[in-house]
Amino acid sequence: YAKAHGKRRCVCFSPEILGERARELKLVELLRASIENDFDGFSLCYQPQIDTNSGTVTGAEALARFQCEEFGAVSPVEFIPLLEKTGLIIPMGKWVLWTAATQCKNWMAIDGDFVMSVNLSYRQIDSDSLVPFIEDTLQETGLPAKNLVIEMTESYFASDEDPVRTVFDQIRSLGVRVAMDDFGTGYSALGMLKKSPADIVKIDRMFVTDVQASTFDATFIKFVVELCHDVGIEVCLEGVETDGEYAAVSAMGLDYIQGFLFGRPYPPDEFRRRFLP
Ligand code: C2E
Ligand code: MG
Ligand code: MG
Ligand code: MG
């Protein structure tokens, strides 16, 4: 445990840490059991993405949820890293993609242009079976590639490792778009956008939080939009919660907005009722 948290730090085994560790072990056990039991306890919620030009819902981001008797609803911020650590993200990530693709195909009967965004973990990139699985999923669900977006955290785009870039290129050559998630939180330079294999950049919500007070944050968003548009990348802003925030960014030329102001992540039935005609 101490090692994983940096060599210099001394970690004492306080009751608190033991409690955390016990919860983690129990949770991993429950996650594993759920996966083995046909993903019982897992579900997907869908958050609307708004096209700023038309002002309409253009699609949704699929967000994983986990519910169990012991701990109630557990946040993906907690369980996704555990799935990554244990390798369980491989089967679970496939389930997410399959479920979201099926849902998208279903909603396309109502809105033929509906686009589904699905998060991908770096651990899935490592797996040889990823690209064939995406291809099979499209084929078997009947979802056209252009209606799918794969979201991946910013830092993996910065990687100079060829295998990572190759996978992005392969995904894109299927016709699936790739989005760079949480942009601005990592260590990557803006300059990498020029050679980036991304179709969409999603600016992290930390830039929206202070957009009204901070000249830096407002300038950052405008600058990223300009730079991305120059090289043909679309831009989505995440985390718009208030009318004031929306007013501050509405003239910045963003392509998409995603945030609680327009809608939270909802279970499929509720998403359909709220956002589809
Ligand atoms: P993300 O991909 O950046 O997803 C956006 C997160 O921001 C979601 O949190 C969403 O509920 C939240 N959000 C959206 N708009 C607002 C807003 O206006 N205000 C605030 N305060 N929050 C907003 P969520 O659902 O808790 O997911 C957290 C993270 O967990 C995701 O961040 C993603 O990195 C990861 N995650 C979720 N589902 C999956 C999955 O199926 N696979 C993988 N690999 N990761 C997932
Ligand atoms: Mg549309
Ligand atoms: Mg995302
Ligand atoms: Mg994000």
Pocket test residue of 80, 103, 183, 185 for ligand 1, highest count of atoms within 8 A of CB: 80
| Closest residue CA from atom 35 of ligand 1 | 76
- Evaluated on CA atoms 232, 156, 188, 216, the torsion sign reads positive
Who contacts 182 (Cβ-Cβ below 8 Å, separation ≥6)?
153, 154, 202, 204
Distance 25 CA to ligand 1 centre (A): 23
Q: Look at 20-24, 28-32, 235-239 and tell me which has the smallest mean pLDDT.
A: 20-24
List, for residues 88-125, the tens digit of each pLDDT value.
Answer: 999 999 999 999 999 999 999 999 999 999 999 999 98
Given this model, what pLDDT does residue 13 score?
60
Q: Which pTM does this prediction carry?
A: 0.93
List, for residues 251-274, the tens digit of each pLDDT value.
Answer: 999 999 999 999 999 999 999 999
Q: Does pLDDT of 206 surpass 80?
A: yes
- Secondary structure (3-state) at 249: helix
Given this model, what pLDDT does residue 42 score?
98
β-bridge pairing 177-183 and 42-51: unpaired
Pick from 204, 152, 205: nearest CA to 183? 204
Given this model, what pLDDT does residue 4 score?
55
User: Counting beta carbons within 10 angstroms of the beta carbon of residue 41, is it exposed (0 to 12), middle (13 to 18) or buried (19 or more)?
Assistant: middle
| Closest residue CA from atom 25 of ligand 1 | 63
Distance 67 CA to ligand 1 centre (A): 16
Pocket test residue of 39, 42, 63 for ligand 1, highest count of atoms within 8 A of CB: 63
What is the value of ipTM here, to two decimals?
Answer: 0.98
Distance 251 CA to ligand 4 centre (A): 21
**Ligand closest to the CA atom of residue 124:** 1
Q: Is the Cβ–Cβ distance between 178 and 199 less than 8 Å?
A: yes
List, for residues 34-80, the tens digit of each pLDDT value.
Answer: 999 999 999 999 999 999 999 999 999 999 999 999 999 999 999 99
User: Counting beta carbons within 10 angstroms of the beta carbon of residue 128, is it exposed (0 to 12), middle (13 to 18) or buried (19 or more)?
Assistant: exposed
Q: What letter does residue 266 receive in the DSSP assignment? A: B
Ligand 1 cavity residues, CB under 6 Å = 47, 63-64, 75-77, 80, 96, 119-121, 151, 181-182, 205, 238-241, 258-260, 265
- List 152's β-bridge partners, or say none: 180
Given this model, what pLDDT does residue 2 score?
47
Name the token pair of 3.
Answer: 């090692």
List, for residues 186-201, the tens digit of each pLDDT value.
Answer: 876 677 787 788 999 9
Distance 6 CA to ligand 3 centre (A): 28
* DSSP run (H or E) holding 237: strand 234-238
| Closest residue CA from atom 11 of ligand 1 | 265
Pick from 40, 65, 149, 64: nearest CA to 101? 149
Distance 264 CA to ligand 1 centre (A): 10
